[in-house]
Amino acid sequence: MYRYLLFYKPYNVLSQFTDKDGSKIEESSSVPLQGRSTLKDYIPVSSVYPVGRLDRDSEGLLLLTNNGRLQHRLADPRFGHSRTYWVQVEQVPDEVALNQLRSGVVIQNYRTRPAWVQRLPEDPPLPPREPPIRFRKTVPTSWLEISLTEGRNRQVRRMTAALGFPTLRLVRIKIGHLSLEGLQPGQWRDLTKAELEPLHRL
């Protein structure tokens, strides 16, 4: 029987059930990777796997299933399934910068697909991150909502950094019609019948 789960991945948790690289050194910090949390610390369900992934330093919605065909359909960028993020960045991007994000940004010799981007008028209703983000008191921050139809490695972070707006916090709030609403960090649940119906049509 197929299982379909939604999980609110906290910060500093790997999007996998085992930490195969736990004895290595993380390039960005020169700190051993031992003791990192994995999905196994939160989800007591066997034989389900995440559709796509979130980086360890990102938070938010993960869909897990044991339906391999569905995993392929949702993860393959050819099918253009949207993913929506709330992104806290340094500085306040103007309309010129937002339009650059919308039309596509060149990162690693690749131009990203057009994206839906808006600046949020106020901070989104998110629980505090543990540990809190590091920010400079003299540098303002702002929140963006960004929807992509592709998911290259660290794409959102590279897009904002390319325009001079480093990402401080990144939270995925939607995968297609599926939403983070009703979940707190570390919580998971099965999909409802209404949520499953659009997936069965893929």
- As separate numbers, helices (DSSP H) first and strands (DSSP E) second, the chain gives 4, 13
- CA 156, chain centre distance (Å): 9
d(CA 92, CA 98): 10
d(CA 72, CA 14): 20
Give the tokens for residue 34. Answer: 């031992």
> Token match 């992509």: residue?
148
For residue 144, what are the CA distances in angstroms to 65, 80, 120, 178, 194? Answer: 29, 21, 5, 19, 29
Give me the amino acid identity at 107.
I
The residue from 55, 57, 76, 123 that is catalytic is: 55
**Known catalytic residue: 123?**
no
Helix (H) or strand (E) holding 90: strand 83-90
Query: Any idea which residues carry the catalytic annotation?
Result: 55
